[in-house]
Amino acid sequence: MMDTILENRTIDMIAAHFKTAPHKIGRIHEADAEIVDLGGGSPHYLAVTTDALVEEISSGLYDDPYFMGWMLAMVNFSDLAAVGADPLGLLLSISYPMNGDSRFAAKLARGVSDACNKLGTFVLGGDTNQGGELLLSGCAVGLVPKQSVLTRKGARAHDSLYMTSRAGLGNVYAFLKLGRMRFLPARSFYKPVARIKEGRIIREFASSCMDTSDGVIHTIDTLMRLNRRRFVLYGDWAAILHPIAYRVCRAQGIPAWLVLAGIHGEFELVFTVSPQRERPFLSAAAETGWTPLKIGEVCEGQGVSIQGNGGATPLDTAAIRNLSEQAGSDPQAYIKRLVQIAQESGIA
Amino acid sequence: MMDTILENRTIDMIAAHFKTAPHKIGRIHEADAEIVDLGGGSPHYLAVTTDALVEEISSGLYDDPYFMGWMLAMVNFSDLAAVGADPLGLLLSISYPMNGDSRFAAKLARGVSDACNKLGTFVLGGDTNQGGELLLSGCAVGLVPKQSVLTRKGARAHDSLYMTSRAGLGNVYAFLKLGRMRFLPARSFYKPVARIKEGRIIREFASSCMDTSDGVIHTIDTLMRLNRRRFVLYGDWAAILHPIAYRVCRAQGIPAWLVLAGIHGEFELVFTVSPQRERPFLSAAAETGWTPLKIGEVCEGQGVSIQGNGGATPLDTAAIRNLSEQAGSDPQAYIKRLVQIAQESGIA
């Protein structure tokens, strides 16, 4: 099921060479961060993850050093949020060209620092190198109470499908930036925050969870494959899309659905909650002033569907995800193909 | 003291932007890995480190994918060994060109896997990206008993200076590889193993510890600066150098001392032991069949000296270390300058 997705095949091919760690919880693809039993009766698991910014920089999507720093921190902490972990901090692995000026490094460091401050966490250390190309990799560590750890597995039929908040800004940012459709300054509206705070509530109630860093459709497709259930997404785009994302789509004639299908997501969490836990979950969320967004439901069967007025339309999410293999090399062709798939599915 | 070293200035400039984590033990530069208090009365600290292979690949020093994988794992685990940690595992951040064939990735994975097996540890997970340039970064996590944690600080006058085993192979490998002096196949003799096993004994007895991944002189210079004592290294190269390193130096007319001064080290540990703990330390080591190598002593005063027949000769270790800033761009010029410094000091 998971190997229908090309990206997973590369990872699986590499991972096939490695022995399974007996103290690791769950298998490959099953959680946003690695979950490790610390032994010795610790009430916590260690959560650890690594994420690099590569295509984002080589494609020109991120060109501002402050923004790169912010995103480097957030992309790593978002993986911790998705397993319900409290962050201990971040390690940085930075490689930049010899001729890189020190102002660049300073701005980058400020972006990382502001992101950590925003989440109440810290840079613990790192490694710097002189390289021909700019390369930014991070590693976040955190702790999660054993009884509350979240993985991508555990969703059942009749669970409700939730998202922390309205999505689509990540892809709107990418479309504007790469498509040079700059009718508004892209950077001004896109400065995402990893959902660490919400993750602490979600971990007490959800049956499965994953972040939307590769886009909402990608996330739902992965949850569908791992849980072998049918995931139905409500087609009410005005309710699911961030208001700016929705407005940009209308102004630019972009099918709204596209900003969920593109692979430059944001750091919302998509998660499932069983019917019995839904009321206490919503109460706990309301106490913090947060209103989770219901975006669909889990049903018997398999596949992903969009629920419109005329019933549920199945969506070829494997085709959408496998398109992303070419996104870095030719963003324009990628967007065009996405629009085609949408039209063929009668969804756009 | 630490800011006399150019490399440290870059790190300090970046680190100046970050708040100090209250749960981090020690300050910047004070340990090979970051040491983190897990809270909740845990008897262990978390040790976590990140290290990338950048200059090693761009300079052509590492060109075999299996060897790259092996070294990527070992360079990270060596940092854990130097703080006395037991590894929990490794995360990989791999970026490689689109046209990279899958055999390359498979060989790389086998190198990583064999290195982990050798140390009885595991790959926990990772991140893969398509990038223009090959980039390999790792992140190792481990646990160390709180009362036994090792840092670079704590050496006192009258401590003995030890090394896990004879050194110099890393630089001999680099000289042969980059200098094209291939009278023997460089790869056949250089496959270093992180000193995790020895670290478990050292942590019970040593007052300070650091690995030799940037070369022995670099390591001793750092220990000297952090501990503000005089470090005297015995000038008996036949006893301190690995037999192959010593033989290559003689055959090639390379001053023996150079293979300690170059920055491509190996994964030995350099550490200090107080006079009171020396005998129980040596007994504990002997029980495992390991004979630690005494290479010098710590005295009152400051600086690094080489102890020869005619007394101790001070060595300008800051000049040696700052030379390494140019090592990646022009290895030949770097080696030439090192030889000059050796001759000026009357050591070569």
The answer to whether the Cβ–Cβ distance between A130 and B54 falls below 8 Å is yes
CA–CA gap between residue A35 and residue A145 (Å, rounded)? 11
Establish whether this prediction's ipTM goes over 0.90: yes
Domains and CATH numbers, chain B: 19-147 (3.30.1330.10), 152-344 (3.90.650.10)
Residues from chain B that touch A48, judged by Cβ atoms under 8 A, are 48, 91, 124-125, 139, 141
Across A62-72, average pLDDT: 95
**Comparison of pLDDT for A339 and B224, the residue scoring more:** B224
pLDDT digits (tens, 9 = 90+) for A11-62: 888 889 999 999 999 988 999 999 999 998 899 999 999 999 988 998 889 9
B346 shares contact with chain A (CB less than 8 Å): no
Task: With beta carbons less than 8 A apart as the criterion, state whether B145 and B44 touch.
Answer: yes
Of B18, B112, B141, the CB nearest to A113: B18
Q: Do A116 and B48 touch (CB under 8 A)?
A: no
Using a CB-CB distance cutoff of 8 angstroms, which residues of chain A are in contact with residue B129? 52, 54-55
Question: How far apart, in Å, do the first and last CA atoms of chain B sit?
Answer: 26
Find all residues with CB under 8 Å of B279, minimum gap 6, and list them.
none
Residues of chain B in contact with residue A104, where contact means CB-CB under 8 angstroms, are: none
Average pLDDT over chain B, rounded to an integer: 90
- Tell me the pLDDT tens digit for each residue of A115-126: 999 999 999 999
pLDDT given at position B185? 56
Task: Determine which of A10, A14, A78, A330 to mutate to test the interface with B (most B C-beta atoms within 10 Å).
Answer: A14
**Concatenated DSSP letters for A72-135?**
HHHHHHHHHHHTTPEEEEEEEEEEE-TT--HHHHHHHHHHHHHHHHHTT--EEEEEEEE-SS-E
- Per the CB < 8 Å rule, is B93 touching A15? no
Task: Return the higher-pLDDT residue of B249 and A200.
Answer: A200
SS (H, E, C) chain B: CHHHCHHHHHHHHHHCCCCCCCCEECCCCCCCCEEEECCCCCCEEEEEEEEEECHHHHCCCCCCHHHHHHHHHHHHHHHHHHCCCEEEEEEEEEEECCCCCHHHHHHHHHHHHHHHHHHCCCEEEEEEEECCCCEEEEEEEEEEEHHHCCCCCCCCCCCEEEECCCECHHHHHHHHHHCCCCCCCHHHHCCCCCCHHHHHHHHHHEEEEEECCCCHHHHHHHHHHHHCCEEEEECCHHHHECHHHHHHHHHHCCCCCHHHHCCCCCCCEEEEECHHHHHHHHHHHHHCCCCCEEEEEEECCCEEEEEECCEEEEECHHHHHHHHHHCCCCHHHHHHHHHHHHHHCCCC
* Integer Cα distance of A282 and A263 in angstroms: 29
Q: How far is B241 from B249, CA to CA, in rounded Å? A: 10
E strand or H helix that includes residue A197: helix A196-202
Longest dimension (CA), chain A: 59
Q: Which A residues 169-208 touch B at CB under 8 Å?
A: none
Is the Cβ of B141 closer than 8 Å to some Cβ of chain A?
Answer: yes
Kindly state the percentage of chain B with pLDDT values over 90. Answer: 64
Instruction: Enter the tokens of residue B143.
Output: 């646990």
User: Does residue A67 contact residue A56 with C-beta atoms inside 8 Å?
Assistant: no
B6 falls in which pLDDT band (50, 70, 90)?
A: confident
* A271 close to A334: Cβ distance less than 8 angstroms: no
pLDDT in tens, B183-241: 555 557 889 999 999 999 999 999 999 999 999 999 999 999 999 999 999 999 999 99
